[in-house]
């Protein structure tokens, strides 16, 4: 069965970890999150979110500008990498796609008893799995979100997994190494940013995943 048929059949919900768990690939990958089929389905979903299609027509999220289009192939230079583009508060960020596992609608977050730090928001139920939810705005000292509803971005690196809320998810863009520009600022959040690139006239700050995960797992999780 090819990728498209497996995705259409939602194999992760029938034969995978959320179904009967009889998929022979589970012995090799350990979890559907690590399966190429599931990753492909997630990327396809992100692309649909980017287009924001409603009744067959593209529409931008409420309060946002038109969704970004992919960088044209002729404009890409150097070694390329795919990034998830999203917005939190008044900042546009880019996160390498290799750490992104899923984009979900916002879920209720339940506080963890006896944990009072503000960066650790609590636990959210995502596809039947309890996932730790963090507030990246507080982590990077960026204030509070101005959006009442948005998306939840689920990330993972090794055994560490967490989710955070984003005001908007614009989609996926590819950028070459020579398109990445240095970033300097004296604000606290600058410690988590290693550069930026321009996409459709907007600046997207590149999150340093290694530092990002280290700060969360060592101090808060």
What is the block-wise mean pLDDT of the chain (221 residues), using blocks of 10 residues?
A: 67 73 79 72 54 40 34 48 90 91 86 74 83 87 70 84 89 88 86 90 90 76 56
Same domain for 192 and 90:
yes
Residue 120's pLDDT is what?
84
166 forms beta bridges with: 151
- If asked whether residues 57 and 86 sit together in one domain, one would say no
Domain boundary among 20, 38, 62: 62
pTM: 0.62
pLDDT score of 205: 94
Domain match, 104 and 213 both:
yes
Question: At which of 62, 86, 107 does a domain end?
Answer: 62
> Is 77 found in the same domain as 39?
no
6 touches 29 (CB < 8 A): no
Residue that terminates a domain, selected from 33, 62, 91? 62
CA distances to 109, 114, 177 from 134, in Å: 10, 16, 29
Instruction: Write down the pLDDT at residue 86.
Output: 94
Same domain, 131 and 214: yes
Q: Are residues 78 and 164 part of one domain?
A: yes
Amino acid 72: pLDDT? 38
Do 85 and 173 reside in the same domain of the chain? yes
pLDDT value at residue 204 = 95
Q: Are residues 22 and 80 in the same domain?
A: no
**Residue numbers of the domain that contains 123:** 68-219
Task: Please tell me whether residues 16 and 40 are part of one structural domain.
Answer: yes
pLDDT (0 to 100) of residue 83: 92
One domain for residues 95 and 181: yes
pLDDT of residue 95: 93
Number of domains the chain is built from: 2
pLDDT score for 2: 67
Do 186 and 214 share a domain, yes or no?
yes
Structure confidence at residue 71 (pLDDT): 35
**Same domain assignment for residues 185 and 161:** yes
| Residues facing 219 on adjacent strands | none
Residue 145: its pLDDT value, please?
Answer: 63
> What is residue 33's predicted lDDT score, i.e. its pLDDT?
64
| Cα angle for residues 94, 96, 98 (degrees, 5° grid) | 155
């Amino acid at each position: 069965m090819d990728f498209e048929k497996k995705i259409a059949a939602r194999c992760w919900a029938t034969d995978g970890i959320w179904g009967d768990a009889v998929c022979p690939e589970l012995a090799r990958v350990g979890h559907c999150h690590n399966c190429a089929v599931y990753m492909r389905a997630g990327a396809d979903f992100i692309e649909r979110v980017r287009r924001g299609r409603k009744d067959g027509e593209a529409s931008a999220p409420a309060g946002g500008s038109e969704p970004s289009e992919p960088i044209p192939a002729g404009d890409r230079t150097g070694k390329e990498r795919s990034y998830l583009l999203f917005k939190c508060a008044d900042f546009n960020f880019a996160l390498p796609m290799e750490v992104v596992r899923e984009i979900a609608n916002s879920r209720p977050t339940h506080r963890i008893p006896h944990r009072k730090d503000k960066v650790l928001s609590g636990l959210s139920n995502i596809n039947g799995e309890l996932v730790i939810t963090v507030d990246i705005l507080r982590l990077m000292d960026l204030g509070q979100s101005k959006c009442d509803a948005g998306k939840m971005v689920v990330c993972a690196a090794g055994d560490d997994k967490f989710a955070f809320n984003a005001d908007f998810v614009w989609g996926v863009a590819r950028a070459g190494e020579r398109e990445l520009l240095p970033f300097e600022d004296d604000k606290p959040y600058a410690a988590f940013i290693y550069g930026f690139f321009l996409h459709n006239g907007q600046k997207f700050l590149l999150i340093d995943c290694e530092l990002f995960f280290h700060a969360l797992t060592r101090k808060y999780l």
